[in-house]
Amino acid sequence: MTATVQIGQYSYQCRPRWGFGTPTHPRLTAILERGRSGYARRLEALAELRSLFAAIPREAADDSPSPRWFNPWFTSLDALALCGMLVRHDPRLLIEIGSGNSTKFARHVITERKLRTKIVSIDPQPRAEIDALCDEVIRAPAESVDQALFSRLKPGDILFIDSSHRSLENSDVTALFLDVLPELTPGVIVHVHDVYLPYDYPAQAEGLMYNEQYLLAALLLGEASWLEPVLPCFFAAQDARLSAHLAPVWEAIGTNAFPAPSNSFWMNIKRRR
């Protein structure tokens, strides 16, 4: 089914343009293929943390502060990757744009591994009750936050973006991609959720008018030297050779079937030329 969206005098047929039965975007595929060996090493490192993951329950109450694998928003490789990044880098600061189940996973691994990480949550209406899990809460939209906040991020720190996914005039996505990302200190690690590159958004997103990943795709296609993809989770999950590295993790957890797809996109901020 294809959704038709009318905006002013223009109508749009919302359907996947790349992937999902058609070829993925060829140039984006080639760009992401460059990092294959690095993705494999990161996935292998996640397998070494399988005892940490096995201790996380598959089920828990919605209002529990503990993470659970069977949640509809943030699970599978996305959760593994966040935990792995925290263990690997032990960041001083994790700034979340959009909080909820990801916060539960983050707090769990910070506690279990005795990490130094402080969590700053920016979200006007978090899905889960997570205030008690954070060190600092800002209950306001990201586009209204003083940009000086992001200058607190230093090399090895994490900016975790799970936004409205829509670039509009003065939206959170527009502010983050045009004002925040280009000014981040080299060495900062960035996560963007709901990114399917080199695939388009899936059929389930038809009519939602998500367009965030197109901004990211344009940066990648422009060969932005200051952005280095380090783990595109959807790309990895769809690749048999890469996803095979996670077999020990799924065995430890007891399943590899989850209610949400893996669509986190991780990248490093590099020094600008």
Instruction: Give 140-160 pLDDT, tens digit per residue.
Output: 999 999 999 999 999 999 999
Asked whether residue 4 carries a pLDDT value surpassing 90, the answer given is no
11 domain residue, yes or no: no
8 domain residue, yes or no: no
Measured distance CA(103)–CA(225) in Å, rounded: 30
Measured distance CA(142)–CA(122) in Å, rounded: 6
For the stretch 25-64, pLDDT in tens is: 999 999 999 999 999 999 999 999 999 999 999 999 988 9
101 domain residue, yes or no: yes
> Residue 72: left if φ>0, alpha if ψ -120 to 50, beta else—which one?
alpha
19 domain residue, yes or no: no
Q: Are 86 and 115 in contact (CB under 8 A)?
A: yes
The count of domains in the chain is: 1
pLDDT band, very low/low/confident/very high, at 6 (cuts 50, 70, 90): confident
pLDDT band, very low/low/confident/very high, at 3 (cuts 50, 70, 90): confident
How crowded is residue 190: how many other Cβ atoms within 10 Å of its Cβ?
Answer: 22
How confident is the model at residue 1, as a pLDDT? 58
Two tokens, residue 63: 């209002």
How confident is the model at residue 243, as a pLDDT? 97
How confident is the model at residue 174, as a pLDDT? 98
Asked whether residue 5 carries a pLDDT value surpassing 90, the answer given is no
78 domain residue, yes or no: yes
Which percentage of the chain shows pLDDT scores above 90? 86
pLDDT band, very low/low/confident/very high, at 12 (cuts 50, 70, 90): confident
7 domain residue, yes or no: no
Q: Are 252 and 220 in contact (CB under 8 A)?
A: no
For the stretch 62-116, pLDDT in tens is: 889 999 999 999 999 999 999 999 999 999 999 999 999 999 999 999 999 999 9
How confident is the model at residue 189, as a pLDDT? 99
44 domain residue, yes or no: yes
Q: State the residue range of the domain holding 81.
A: 24-269
List the CATH number of the domain containing 225: 3.40.50
How confident is the model at residue 211, as a pLDDT? 97
pLDDT band, very low/low/confident/very high, at 257 (cuts 50, 70, 90): confident
Asked whether residue 124 carries a pLDDT value surpassing 70, the answer given is yes
Q: Are 127 and 105 in contact (CB under 8 A)?
A: no
Average pLDDT, the chain: 95
181 domain residue, yes or no: yes
